[in-house]
Structure 1
Amino acid sequence: MIHASRLRWLILTLITVFLDRLSKAVVEAKTVEGWRHELIHNFIYLVHSKNPGIAFSIFADSNSDWVRYALMAGSLVVIAILAWYLVAAKGVSSRSAAGLALLLGGATGNLTDRIIHGAVTDYFEVLFGSY
């Protein structure tokens, strides 16, 4: 049974999913793919890009449906583990639980992007040297 005090983490997760979807909808509505605006010179940019891969655009060049479905399945596994841990783990600090809820919301928003668009909409770019 879910402990009543953990309901706040579900609410934080849902708010995070909503804000994730809202921010991506604004970027998609107000800019074109490929748009880029520098916030901090040679460091932080607002962008509008689609990433069919994972972090750092790994697998981004793959046009395989198999890769797309594998990434969605992987996302579901991560979401299930985060949700289970958030609900079932004992002795999790409030800070850790808040972090897990934010990760869960972001992972759910990204999975939603993959299902709807086949890729995740990115809108922040942070440069670290040549990476």
Structure 2
Amino acid sequence: MNRNLFITLLIIFNIAIDQISKVIVRKTLTFKEQIDVIGSYFQLIWVENKGAFLGMGSDMNPTLRLIFLLILPTIVLGYVVYYIVKTKELDRLSLIAFCCIVGGGIANVFDRIAFGQVTDFFFIDLGGIFKTGIFNVADLSVSAGMVMLLLSGFLNRNKEKVLTESK
């Protein structure tokens, strides 16, 4: 498959899955309703977030929120798209990771433009061992992309180390 087509489709897929999930949540849940999916360990809770990750920045004045949660992320996402299209040497895992990050980022920026806030609905609480804030599919895409980038960096560093030692 053409590399640029692959990039485009993967970014669109991430945006679509996120937006479809948010439409379903808005149409089927009641605001702040808690639905136990797996007991109290995994719940659906529809909230609207005016800030960024875990509500950070929700108390900023509107001008700062516009700059830090809309304009700056849009510039960064644009640069990342430019980078992955132009950097042909990226390994497949890094390319997929960047596409997930960009797709998730665009989906949340879209929410901020269209609704003035981001729809969140997943909540995990493993009884004090691990507990999240309320998040969405776009957040999962960005987080998975970051983990894949770290993994790719680790794997590539080990490959380089092996190649260097074998010389």
Shift in Å at residue 92 of structure 1? 0.9
User: Which residue, out of 112, 115, 119, partners 2:113?
Assistant: 115
Amino acid at match of 2:65: R
Equivalent pair of 1:17/1:108 in contact (CA under 8 Å): yes
Aligned to 1:91: 89
Match of 1:38, SS? strand
- Return the alpha-carbon distance in structure 2 between the equivalents of residues 21 and 121 of structure 1: 9
Amino acid at match of 2:86: A
User: What RMSD over aligned residues (CA atoms) do the two structures have, in Å?
Assistant: 1.9
What count of residue pairs does the alignment treat as equivalent?
Answer: 127
Percent sequence identity over aligned pairs: 24
When normalised by structure 2's length, the TM-score is 0.68
Identify if the C-alpha distance between structure 1 residues 7 and 28 changes in structure 2 by more than 3 Å, giving closer, same or farther. Answer: same
- Return the alpha-carbon distance in structure 1 between the equivalents of residues 132 and 7 of structure 2: 37
Q: Which has the higher helix share?
A: 2
- Return the alpha-carbon distance in structure 2 between the equivalents of residues 9 and 130 of structure 1: 30
Equivalent pair of 2:50/2:58 in contact (CA under 8 Å): yes
Identify if the C-alpha distance between structure 1 residues 36 and 69 changes in structure 2 by more than 3 Å, giving closer, same or farther. Answer: same
Aligned to 1:73: 71
Aligned to 2:56: 58
- Return the alpha-carbon distance in structure 1 between the equivalents of residues 41 and 18 of structure 2: 22
Higher relative contact order (CA 8 A, sep 6+): 1
- Return the alpha-carbon distance in structure 2 between the equivalents of residues 31 and 91 of structure 1: 44
Q: What stretches of structure 2 of length at least 5 have no aligned partner?
A: 134-167
